[in-house]
Amino acid sequence: MSESDVIRIRGLVKTFGPTRALDELDLSVVPGEVHGFLGPNGAGKSTTIRVLLALLRKDSGEVRLFGGDPWAEAAALHRRLAYVPGDVSLWPNLSGGEVIDMFLRMRGAPADHPWRAETIERFQLDPTKKGRAYSKGNRQKVALVAAFAAPADLLILDEPTSGLDPLMEEVFAACVAERKAEGTTVLLSSHILSEVERLADRVTIIRDGRAVESGSLDEMRHLHRSKVRAEVVGAVPDLSGVPGVHDLSVDGPVVSCTVEPDGLPGVLTALTAAGVRTLTSSPPSLEELFLDAYRKDPVG
Amino acid sequence: MTGLGLLTRFSLRRSRVLIGAWTAVLAVMCYASAASINSLYASPADRVAAAESINASSALVALYGPILDTQSLGELAMTKTTVTYAVLVMAVAIALVRRHTRVEEESGRAELLGGLALDPRAPLVSAVLVGATASLLVAVTAALADIAGGLPVAGSLWFAGSWLGLGLVGTGIGAVCAQLSANARTCGAVAAGLVAGLFGLRALGDTTAAGWLSWLSPLGWSTQLRAWSGTRGWVLLLDLATAVLLVVAALAVRARRDLGAGLVAERPGPATGSPRLADALALNLKVHATSLVVWTAACALLGALMAAIVPGVGSILDSDGARQMMERLGGVGALQETLVAALVSVGAVIITCFVAMVVGHGGAEEHDGRTEEVLATATTRSMSFAAVALVALGGAAWLLLVTGAAMALGSIGAEVSAGGVLAAALVQIPAVWVVAALALLAVAVRSTWAVAGWVLVVAFFLLGPLAELLRLPGWVAGLSPYSHVPKVPAESVRLTPEVVLTLLATLVVLAAWWRYRERDIG
pLDDT > 70 fraction of chain A, expressed in percent and rounded: 97
Among the partner-chain residues A81, A106, A133, the one whose CB lies closest to the CB of B266 is A133
Residues of B in contact with A95 (CB under 8 A): 268-271
What is the mean predicted confidence (pLDDT) over B130-140? 97
| A277, containing H or E segment | strand A276-282
Pick the closest to residue A290 from A24, A86, A37, A46 (CA basis): A37
What is the mean predicted confidence (pLDDT) over A102-120? 95
Residues of A in contact with B369 (CB under 8 A): 85, 87-89
Tell which B residues from 369 to 398 touch A, by Cβ distance under 8 Å.
369-370, 372-381
Question: Lowest mean pLDDT: which of A220-224, B196-200, B491-495, B516-520?
Answer: A220-224
Q: How confident is the model at residue B211 (pLDDT cuts 50, 70, 90)?
A: confident
Pick the closest to residue A34 from A149, A197, A163, A170 (CA basis): A197
A94·B380 Cβ contact <8 A: no
The answer to whether residues B181 and B160 touch, using CB atoms and an 8 Å cutoff, is no
Based on its alpha-carbon atoms, the radius of gyration of chain A, rounded to whole angstroms, reads 23
Question: Lowest mean pLDDT: which of A70-84, A217-231, B303-317?
Answer: B303-317
Compute CA B287 distance to the chain's CA centroid, rounded to the nearest angstrom. Answer: 21
End-to-end CA, chain A: 24
Tell which B residues from 11 to 50 touch A, by Cβ distance under 8 Å.
none
Supply the pLDDT for residue B329. 52
Q: How confident is the model at residue B103 (pLDDT cuts 50, 70, 90)?
A: confident
Asked if the model's pLDDT at residue B399 lies above 60, the reply is yes
- The residue ranking higher by pLDDT, A296 or A250, is A250
pLDDT > 90 fraction of chain B, expressed in percent and rounded: 56
What is the mean predicted confidence (pLDDT) over B100-115? 82
- Residue B290 touches chain A, beta carbons under 8 Å: yes
Asked if the model's pLDDT at residue B204 lies above 80, the reply is yes
Asked if the model's pLDDT at residue B338 lies above 80, the reply is no
Residue to substitute from A19, A98, A107, A134, interface B, most B β-carbons within 10 A: A98
- Residue A291 touches chain B, beta carbons under 8 Å: no
Q: How confident is the model at residue B105 (pLDDT cuts 50, 70, 90)?
A: confident
Q: How confident is the model at residue B351 (pLDDT cuts 50, 70, 90)?
A: very high
Q: How confident is the model at residue B330 (pLDDT cuts 50, 70, 90)?
A: very low
For helices A114-122 and A166-181, the axis angle rounded to 10 degrees is: 150
Supply the pLDDT for residue A293. 78
ipTM of the complex: 0.87
Among the partner-chain residues B183, B272, B287, the one whose CB lies closest to the CB of A97 is B272
- Residue B286 touches chain A, beta carbons under 8 Å: yes
- Residue B257 touches chain A, beta carbons under 8 Å: no
Asked if the model's pLDDT at residue B263 lies above 80, the reply is no
A268, with CB counted inside 10 A (0-12, 13-18, 19+), is middle
Question: Lowest mean pLDDT: which of A201-205, B237-241, B487-491?
Answer: B487-491
Tell me how far apart the alpha carbons of residues B508 and B439 are, in angstroms, rounded to a whole number. Answer: 10
Cα B64 to Cα A211, B35, B207, B212, B277, distances in angstroms? 69, 19, 11, 17, 45
A87·B369 Cβ contact <8 A: yes
Supply the pLDDT for residue B234. 95
What is the mean predicted confidence (pLDDT) over B247-252? 96
What is the mean predicted confidence (pLDDT) over B152-160? 95
Digit-coded pLDDT (tens) for A252-291 = 889 999 888 888 888 988 888 888 899 998 888 888 888 8
Tell me how far apart the alpha carbons of residues B251 and B49 are, in angstroms, rounded to a whole number. Answer: 49
Instruction: Indicate the average pLDDT of chain A.
Output: 91
What is the mean predicted confidence (pLDDT) over B232-254? 96
pLDDT > 90 fraction of chain A, expressed in percent and rounded: 62
The answer to whether residues B458 and B464 touch, using CB atoms and an 8 Å cutoff, is no
Question: Lowest mean pLDDT: which of A64-78, A142-156, B325-339?
Answer: B325-339
Asked if the model's pLDDT at residue B316 lies above 50, the reply is no
What is the mean predicted confidence (pLDDT) over B176-186? 86
What is the side-by-side order of every strand in the sheet holding A7-16? A19-29, A7-16, A60-65
A93·B368 Cβ contact <8 A: no
Asked if the model's pLDDT at residue B251 lies above 50, the reply is yes
Residues of B in contact with A93 (CB under 8 A): 183, 269, 286-287, 290
Q: B335 in the Ramachandran plot: left (φ > 0), alpha (ψ -120 to 50) or beta?
A: alpha
- Residue A58 touches chain B, beta carbons under 8 Å: no
Question: Lowest mean pLDDT: which of A148-152, B309-313, B399-403?
Answer: B309-313
Question: Lowest mean pLDDT: which of A139-148, A278-287, B143-152, B419-428?
Answer: A278-287
| B469, containing H or E segment | helix B452-469
Pick the closest to residue B307 from B377, B395, B171, B411 (CA basis): B411
Q: How many residues does chain A have?
A: 300
- The residue ranking higher by pLDDT, B66 or A41, is B66
Asked if the model's pLDDT at residue B312 lies above 80, the reply is no
What is the mean predicted confidence (pLDDT) over B502-511? 98
The answer to whether residues A110 and A183 touch, using CB atoms and an 8 Å cutoff, is no
Asked if the model's pLDDT at residue B479 lies above 50, the reply is yes
Tell me how far apart the alpha carbons of residues B355 and B299 are, in angstroms, rounded to a whole number. Answer: 14
Neighbours of B168 (CB within 10 A): 28
Asked if the model's pLDDT at residue B117 lies above 80, the reply is no
Tell me how far apart the alpha carbons of residues B406 and B401 are, in angstroms, rounded to a whole number. Answer: 8
Instruction: Indicate the average pLDDT of chain B.
Output: 89
Digit-coded pLDDT (tens) for B427-444 = 999 999 999 999 999 999
